[in-house]
Each structure stands twice: as C-alpha cells, then as structure tokens.
Amino acid sequence: MRKDGVLQSEIEVLVPFFDVDSMDIVWHGHYVKYLEVARCALLDRIGHNYQQMRDAGYGWPIIDLQLRYVRPARFNQRISVRADLVEWENRLKINYLIRDVETGERLTRASSVQVAVEIASREMQLASPAVFVDAVRKALT
C-alpha cells in the first residue's frame, strides 16, 4: 500500500453518462480528468494553485502519469478521488486513490509527477521554486 501524503484533498464525482462507453463503464481516459479535479483541490488547499503558479512565472507540466485500473467505474456511480502530496521539494508528486463512495472499494490508483518550468526561459528547474515550497510549508503548519 502506498504511504499517505503530508497533505490530502478528496473530491466526489457522480459519473456522468457522457464519460461512459458502450459497455456502460468509464472510458479509461476520463480517469485523468478526475485526477485533475482532485489535484486542483489539493493545490487550492496548499494555497498555490495553477493561477498562482503562472503568476509566479512557472508552468508545471506533467512528465509522468501512471494509472492502475482495478475495477471499472460505471455510469451514475459516486466515486471519491483522493490526492496525496508525497513530494514537493524537487518535483511535485501526487498519489491518487479512487474508491466507490458507497462500498469503499478501490477502483483505481494513480500517481503523477510534475516539474517546474520557468515560463520566460522555458527551462526546467532542478528544484521546486521557493514560492511553492514556502506555500507547502505554510499549509503544513
């Protein structure tokens, strides 16, 4: 089992009809959208969301994304998506867990890695910008 992160955020999604395929299960690519919603909630909790990242002069592209599908999500199912902050000083790594709200059954687990890129120079940073690290430290207190 993956370790819990130092900060977490959890959202609920009611699986909409337009996210399912002809087998009445969520198409695999839509899980990435659910992860993004949970990641945005986590960044808001940290106090340094995508708008603030851009205002600070940095983009944070995803350089690695891994998903493990355990059970399919289905139309009209209530799912929870939990995002856990596990690394932030040199890169931003978030672990995710998607569960059925009613049963608690694990459906999917995932992780994403992002790195800071200075917008002006388009250069990847070898360490997370101080403004982001400071925001995480503040959120931890």
Find the radius of gyration of the CA atoms of the chain. 16
Question: What pLDDT is stored for residue 5 in this prediction?
Answer: 87
**Sign of torsion, CA 124 130 136 139?**
negative
Strand partners, 95: 84, 111
Domain residue extents for the chain: 7-140
* pLDDT higher than threshold 80 for residue 2: no
Question: What pLDDT is stored for residue 8 in this prediction?
Answer: 96
- Whole-prediction pTM value? 0.94
Residue whose C-alpha is closest to residue 80's, from 64, 102, 62: 102
CA distance 47 to 1: 28
Q: Which CATH number applies to 7-140? A: 3.10.129.10
